Chains A and B, each alone.
Chain A
Amino acid sequence: MRILKSLLVTSFMLGMSNASLAEEDWEGPFSDGSTAKTFGFQEEEKALFTGKVVDVMCELSGNCADNCGNGNRLIGIVREADNKLILPIKNSQFSFNGPMEDLLPYCGMRVDVDGILVGDAEVYGSKFYMVQKIRESGAAEFSKANLWTKAWAKRNEEAAKKKGPWFRKDPRVLKQIEATGYFGLGHDADKNYAAENQ
């Protein structure tokens, strides 16, 4: 159990590549030219494509907001090759970060993105995107999709001064843990778990 736990932590925090997978396991219809990092996630494949950054709500319903909702709405990319709405749910950072900060500056623009699609489309209906690099389409250089943590620090100046990763000092996370504990079941559940396992 301890070994399994260590492996989970190591693979998640460091984002180690799964060396046991052959290169072709990461290939998909949009893999050509991709230099995305791979990690051995479920049904993972590299994907480099061009598309338009959109406000998902607007795209689905016609209820549109200025600047894709200024960070308060889901953002997607309508892939030019097949008009498919791709939903990015992760940026390239490895500390629980979403893609909003990296996509929002490109709202309404034509972009090239490189990253990986994950998940079993036969089970979940589609794959979902981890955007690792982005640029305005045709620009010379890609930017790494890693802006979330800096943006968080700007929004949470006091918390950012404390030691440790953002998720251990985020005021909203701490508020919830203070209210209902680490398992969300109250502090007695935490105490019982600690007593039995530590």
Chain B
Amino acid sequence: MFERLGAFLAVVSMAMFAQPAFANTSAKLIEIKGEVIDTWCYFSGVMGGEDAVIGSAHHTCALWCAAGGIPVGVLTEEGEVFMVLKYQGEDVLEKTDTLMEVQSDIITAKGMHYVRDGVNYIVVENVIANDGIQVLNHEDYGSVPPNSFPKNYQ
């Protein structure tokens, strides 16, 4: 009996210690509403303040960065940024049009939320609404960076 108990405990303890790192990361289904943004320009301040690197002013640059493989985020009204791990179940982030088409748009989405080391991540499973571009800040900032709008537009 003690041999069986010992074997059982050994298996249980091995299973406990064999748990992968993700066991510490809890996930929950959430709904968020926010703008699809270019995270490098937003976090680094390379182009200026937060208000200038969102919306219509920064739209072309957001396209450049998304096409360039810079991770895309969703910036909520509360100022939280959720790094997008997947979008509508698609496992491809960098090399398709899916995320390009929603750059700068305000979306409402449901998805699985993970937090690790202070960073919010989301697997966007369902986009409930897309309100398009709502931040019309090109009227204040022009194009950011300035060379993202042609010098001699025809």
Chain A contacts to B: CB under 8 angstroms: 1, 5-6, 8-9, 11-13, 39, 41-42, 44, 56-62, 65, 69, 71-74, 78, 83-85, 87, 89-90, 95-101, 118-119, 121, 123-128, 130, 148, 152, 155, 167, 170, 172-173, 175-177, 182-185, 189-191, 193-194, 197-198
A92, B31: Cα distance in complex, Å: 35
Known: A89-B40, A96-B70, A119-B43. A193 touches B94 (CB 8 A): no
Indicate if the CB atoms of B67 and A173 lie closer than 8 Å. yes
3 tightest Cβ-Cβ pairs between the two chains A and B: A98-B69, A125-B118, A42-B45
Indicate if the CB atoms of B138 and A176 lie closer than 8 Å. no
Indicate if the CB atoms of A89 and B94 lie closer than 8 Å. no
Report the count of interface residues on B (CB-CB < 8 A): 66
Known: A73-B91, A74-B93, A87-B83. A191 touches B153 (CB 8 A): yes
Known: A85-B119, A182-B150. A95 touches B68 (CB 8 A): yes
Q: Mark B10-31, 1 if CB is under 8 A from A, else 0.
A: 0000000000111001010000
CB distance from A4 to the nearest CB of B (A): 8
Residue of A5, A12, A100, A126 touching B117 (CB-CB under 8 A): A126
Indicate if the CB atoms of B65 and A72 lie closer than 8 Å. no
Indicate if the CB atoms of B68 and A60 lie closer than 8 Å. no
Indicate if the CB atoms of A98 and B118 lie closer than 8 Å. no
Chain B contacts to A: CB under 8 angstroms: 20-22, 25, 27, 39-40, 43-48, 56-57, 59-61, 63-65, 67-71, 79, 81, 83, 85-86, 91-95, 97, 100-101, 103-105, 112, 114, 116-121, 123, 133, 136, 138, 142-153
CB distance from B83 to the nearest CB of A (A): 7
Indicate if the CB atoms of A97 and B146 lie closer than 8 Å. no
Indicate if the CB atoms of A128 and B153 lie closer than 8 Å. no
Known: A56-B121, A198-B152. A72 touches B93 (CB 8 A): yes
A2, B148: Cα distance in complex, Å: 14
